[in-house]
Amino acid sequence: MSATRIPSARLLLGARARRPSLAGAAAAFRVERRKLSAQLAIRLALLAAALGPVAFAGILELQSGSPGDSLYGVWVHSSGFAVSLVVLGFAGSWGLPLLVGILAGDLFSSEDRHGTWKLVLTRSSSRGELFAGKVLAAGAGTLAVLGLAAASSLIAGLVFVGPHHLVSLSGTILSPGRCLWLVLVSWLLCALPALAFAAFALLLSVATRNGIVGVLAPAIAALVMQLLLLGGSGVWAHTLLISWAFDAWHGLFTARPFLGPVLASSAVSLAWIAVCLAIAWRIVRRRDFAGPPVSRRDGWRTPVQVAAAAVAVVALLVAAGNWGPAGITASRLKTSLIPAFERLTFLQQRELGRTIVPGTKLDIVLPSCSHRGSAPRGPGDWVCTINVLIPSSSGSLPPQPTPVTYDVSVASDGCFKAESPPAFVGQQLMRDSSGDEVVNPLYTIYGCFNVL
């Protein structure tokens, strides 16, 4: 027998780390899955994903109000698909990052807390296999949470409200079959950003060895990203944020679906996943597993350091907010809002039982949109005035322009909610030709345009 010489440089750099075998990674994945399923926090997270949307739909059913600030929020009593889309909106804002943080943010740090690295690393699995097993477990858990939330929100919406048609973000009608397809695709598109948050949580878990950071930081990061998306008029910094990717599905719900944001956000999510996992693996590969378990007392020093680093990153991103071309401009907003207004006006009239001759167009003159902020571009609050030429009742006078003013709240992805005082468009709810109470489609207009 001959002893093998261990070159010091190669040891330090971890160059001898083996390529993980499929069987070894699968075994490590099964171990992680079993450990996760035995933990109360994980069970509660899965339960929240499964029952949260049902509870949400149930509460909506019991009250007359609606979450109008959320995209499709005013339609939750009209179409079950809107319920699922509103849940998806909340999930992307903070729900999924929180649940994913619980799932993935403690996968590595828990080994430090329990002192069990030495237990698993002295078995037959290599570091690479253990790493792969944990990554697979985080990914599977993330997809499970996403799948549960999607299924339960859709089922709850269809059961409580029904599979009714939905108004698109361009004012056209989407059939129930198309709605079902689009809702499923929308949830599917959120898989990549959810996995990106999982990879981010894994990285924090590895780098900080602190479960508090790993679990909470993704949700906090998601909220910070939401705030960052509110400022700055450039599209590039916004596009690089994971949270932006959660809204990429909006473009599918327009009359002419645009896929640019879907492709860009998918690429960005993949980049986040690759970078986070590469850094995490580098840390694990090079690490010396020495010393006692991390104590809870030491546990707060790391969160403070991470918070300081996060503040620096956020400041950098704020400074980069105007980076790149302006995606949101007055002309783009007008181009999106006016056709939607026109279509929804006809929809309203049809629902009121009035006959619309095919090919009829609204006479709209001098539409204008202005940003309430200092710069005439970027997300935030806008005011749009649409002058509609309405014929006089006697028909003897020329049509008079009637201004309709909408307060428009535009998000960084080009999606907006426009609301008008009821003087011209009527109340939020109206009676249709059958006497049923329905949503007035002109009261709140949801729309979307491509910012890329």
Q: Does 31 bind other proteins (CB under 8 A)?
A: yes
From 61-69, 215-223, 233-241, 287-295, give the range in contact with other proteins by CB under 8 A.
287-295
Per-residue exposure over 190-208, b if at least 16 CB sit within 10 Å of its own CB, e if not: bbbbbbbbbbbbbbbbbbb
Report d(CA 164, CA 158) in Å as an integer.
Answer: 8
Q: Does 296 bind other proteins (CB under 8 A)?
A: no
Bridge-partner residues for 446, per DSSP?
Answer: 417
Q: At residue 52, what are phi and psi to the nearest 5 degrees?
A: -55, -50
Return the residues of window 52-71 that contact other proteins according to CB under 8 A.
none
CA angle 158, 164, 168 (to 5 degrees): 115
Largest Cα span, the chain: 110
Distant-in-sequence, close-in-space partners of 106: CB < 8 Å, separation ≥ 6: 41, 205, 211, 214, 215
From 149-157, 201-209, 218-226, 289-297, give the range in contact with other proteins by CB under 8 A.
289-297
Q: Does 22 bind other proteins (CB under 8 A)?
A: no
Q: H or E element: which one contains 442?
A: none
In this structure, are strands 173-174 and 364-371 parallel, antiparallel, or unpaired?
Answer: unpaired
Q: Which is nearer to other proteins, 13 or 375 (CB)?
A: 13
Report d(CA 277, CA 273) in Å as an integer.
Answer: 6
Q: Does 19 bind other proteins (CB under 8 A)?
A: no
Q: Which one of residues 66, 84, 126, 440 is an interface residue with other proteins (CB under 8 A)?
A: 126
Q: Report in angstroms how near the CB of residue 5 gets to other proteins at its nearest.
A: 6
Q: Which is nearer to other proteins, 38 or 357 (CB)?
A: 38
Cβ atoms of 335 and 368 within 8 Å: the answer is no
Report d(CA 337, CA 334) in Å as an integer.
Answer: 5
Q: Which is nearer to other proteins, 30 or 301 (CB)?
A: 30
Q: What is the DSSP string of 381-408?
A: EEEEEEEEEE--SSS-SPPEEEEEEEEE
Report d(CA 397, CA 230) in Å as an integer.
Answer: 46
Q: Does 43 bind other proteins (CB under 8 A)?
A: no
Q: Which one of residues 67, 293, 324, 339 is an interface residue with other proteins (CB under 8 A)?
A: 293
Q: Does 35 bind other proteins (CB under 8 A)?
A: yes
From 20-28, 49-57, 399-407, 433-441, give the range in contact with other proteins by CB under 8 A.
20-28
Report d(CA 156, CA 310) in Å as an integer.
Answer: 38
Return the residues of window 96-125 that contact other proteins according to CB under 8 A.
114-125
Residue 402: both structure tokens together: 């009637």
Q: Does 8 bind other proteins (CB under 8 A)?
A: yes
Q: Report in angstroms how near the CB of residue 377 gets to other proteins at its nearest.
A: 53
Bridge-partner residues for 364, per DSSP?
Answer: 388
Q: H or E element: which one contains 250?
A: none
Q: Report in angstroms how near the CB of residue 292 gets to other proteins at its nearest.
A: 7
Q: Which one of residues 38, 62, 366, 397 is an interface residue with other proteins (CB under 8 A)?
A: 38
Q: Which is nearer to other proteins, 288 or 436 (CB)?
A: 288
Among 408, 372, 365, CA closest to 389: 365
Q: Report in angstroms how near the CB of residue 380 gets to other proteins at its nearest.
A: 48
Q: Report in angstroms how near the CB of residue 3 gets to other proteins at its nearest.
A: 4
Q: Which is nearer to other proteins, 287 or 431 (CB)?
A: 287
CA angle 333, 338, 344 (to 5 degrees): 125
Q: Does 14 bind other proteins (CB under 8 A)?
A: yes
Report d(CA 171, CA 445) in Å as an integer.
Answer: 8
What residue type is assigned to position 305 of the chain?
Q
Q: Does 6 bind other proteins (CB under 8 A)?
A: yes
Binding mask 246-285 for other proteins (x = CB under 8 A): ----------------------------------------
Q: Which is nearer to other proteins, 47 or 263 (CB)?
A: 47
Among 54, 51, 63, 141, CA closest to 99: 141
Return the residues of window 145-204 that contact other proteins according to CB under 8 A.
none
User: How many of the chain's residues bind other proteins (CB under 8 A)?
Assistant: 44
Residues forming contacts to other proteins in the complex (CB under 8 A) are 1-6, 8, 11-12, 14, 16-18, 23-24, 27-28, 30-31, 34-35, 38-40, 114-127, 130, 288-290, 292-293
